């Protein structure tokens, strides 16, 4: 791929092109595009793209199957924010514990630059493109007054099926705040970047529901910063589609915080799914616990990567990486990679990865009770997924 800027700008969906960007933000966008225009596109020599066919990102037209009605979690008591071609829909009036602004009203001091230099920039080039091309998004601020089970739903519902739509959101939890954020992919070809800032003692429960139709594509970067004694639990479900590439990037910015994530990845047909979690333990006494359960069928491919980097002096860090995978056909492929990079002296770390098939003995047990093979397999898959259901 030649210049990213030229190829990708041409394909970008620009539904919000008349936005009056603040000068500093406009400068950030232009600077990002200028830098990215000199970078190569993603390719198989990059670690994060080794097991995904990056050339699919450039398909001019996706062959999306007819949309079936997706069963969404009950959002009756939640604040629903829909990001679509039409912009942002906030629904009814907002509760007092919540403020929502368009992304162009983000205070400059809250902007998080993506690192566009060095080897990492090449790995994150697709997600980084968002910095130059995002057209809309929201800043969500949750105060400490949020009631128990306060829920905000972010829905990505774009009608344009082929051109990439770039969305960028900032979700800020004040000190002692507690909230549930549900991210739901509904439609579109979406590249989204979310920055979650979780302040001292705040607690975030997050659900990412990405069940794609055959032929759809979705790329995301979820960036979390965890302040002192904060807690994040993130539940991710990535199913089907032509291509899904998700990066969860976690930075501890103080001590005694905890990040837990559970991912269920299910790919069939010729689907490619990458689920990458990078946790930077830069401070002492933080905990990260990452569990992935993945199932690949037909000629699908899944890449699981849980990486923890423990900086020098970040003693007392605790890390768990538990990646288990099941291949359901002889042509399916799964690459599973737990990674520890530890520079501190006192660290508790456990990591493991397995790839196997459905347990024959349990299948036989279920069949011996009268349950047919297909249903027995489905039960076993549900059972397998349960270990990654954390919230």
Kindly state the smallest distance separating residue 295's Cβ from other proteins, in Å: 14
CB-based contact 244:215 (threshold 8 Å)? no
Out of 72, 316, 387, 390, point to the residue binding other proteins (CB under 8 A).
387
Kindly write out the interface string for residues 314-353 of this chain, putting x where it contacts other proteins by CB under 8 A and - elsewhere: ----------------------------------------
Kindly state the smallest distance separating residue 387's Cβ from other proteins, in Å: 7
Kindly state the smallest distance separating residue 362's Cβ from other proteins, in Å: 5
Q: Which stretch binds other proteins (CB under 8 A): 64-72, 205-213, 280-288, 376-384?
A: 376-384
CA 120 to chain centre: 18
Kindly state the smallest distance separating residue 385's Cβ from other proteins, in Å: 7
Number of residues that bind other proteins (CB under 8 A): 25
Q: Give the sign of the dihedral formed by CA 61, CA 65, CA 66, CA 67.
A: negative
Kindly state the smallest distance separating residue 120's Cβ from other proteins, in Å: 37
| Chain residues 352-371 in contact with other proteins, contact rule CB under 8 A | 359-362, 364-371
* Rounded CA separation 137/336 (Å): 33
Beta strand extents in the chain (DSSP E only): 12-13, 79-84, 87-89, 98-102, 138-142, 151-157, 164-173, 178-187, 189-198, 203-211, 217-226, 231-239, 243-252, 258-267, 272-281, 287-296, 301-310, 317-327, 333-342, 347-356
Nearer to other proteins by Cβ, of 242 and 385: the residue is 385
* Rounded CA separation 18/31 (Å): 20
Out of 137, 218, 385, 390, point to the residue binding other proteins (CB under 8 A).
385
Residue 372 binds other proteins, judged by CB under 8 A: yes
Residue whose structure tokens are 């595009």? 33
Strands 79-84, 258-267: pairing kind: unpaired
Interface residues with other proteins (CB under 8 A)?
359-362, 364-373, 375-376, 379-380, 382-387, 389
């Amino acid at each position: 791929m030649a210049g990213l800027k030229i190829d990708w700008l041409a394909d970008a969906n620009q539904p919000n092109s008349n936005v009056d960007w603040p000068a500093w933000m406009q400068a950030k966008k232009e600077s990002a595009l200028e830098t990215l225009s000199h970078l190569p596109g993603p390719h198989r020599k990059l670690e994060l793209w080794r097991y995904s066919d990056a050339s699919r990102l450039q398909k001019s037209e996706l062959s999306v199957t007819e949309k079936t009605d997706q069963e969404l979690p009950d959002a009756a008591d939640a604040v629903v924010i829909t990001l679509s071609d039409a912009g942002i829909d906030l629904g009814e009036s907002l509760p007092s514990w919540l403020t929502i602004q368009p992304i162009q009203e983000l205070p400059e001091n809250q902007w998080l630059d993506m690192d566009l230099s060095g080897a990492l920039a090449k790995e994150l080039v697709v997600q980084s493109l968002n910095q130059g091309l995002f057209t809309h998004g929201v800043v969500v601020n949750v105060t400490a007054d949020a009631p128990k089970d306060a829920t905000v739903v972010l829905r990505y519902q774009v009608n344009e099926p082929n051109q990439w739509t770039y969305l960028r959101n900032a979700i800020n939890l004040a000190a002692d705040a507690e909230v549930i954020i549900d991210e739901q992919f509904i439609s579109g070809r979406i590249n989204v970047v979310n920055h979650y800032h979780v302040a001292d003692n705040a607690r975030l429960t997050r659900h990412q529901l990405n069940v794609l139709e055959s032929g759809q594509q979705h790329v995301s970067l979820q960036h979390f910063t965890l302040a002192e004694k904060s807690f994040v639990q993130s539940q991710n479900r990535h199913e089907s589609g032509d291509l899904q590439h998700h990066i969860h990037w976690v930075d501890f910015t103080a001590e005694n915080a905890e990040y837990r994530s559970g991912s269920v990845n299910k790919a069939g047909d010729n689907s490619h799914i990458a689920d990458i979690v990078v946790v930077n333990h830069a401070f002492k006494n933080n905990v990260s616990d990452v569990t992935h359960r993945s199932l690949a069928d037909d000629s699908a491919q899944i890449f699981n990567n849980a990486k923890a980097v423990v900086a020098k002096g970040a003693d007392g860090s605790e890390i768990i990486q538990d990646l288990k995978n099941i291949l359901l056909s002889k042509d399916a492929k799964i690459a599973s990679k737990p990674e520890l990079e530890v520079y501190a002296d006192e660290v508790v770390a456990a990591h493991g990865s397995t790839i196997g098939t459905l347990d024959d003995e349990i299948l036989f047990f279920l069949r011996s009770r009268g349950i047919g093979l297909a249903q027995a397999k489905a039960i076993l898959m549900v059972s397998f997924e349960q270990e990654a259901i954390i919230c």
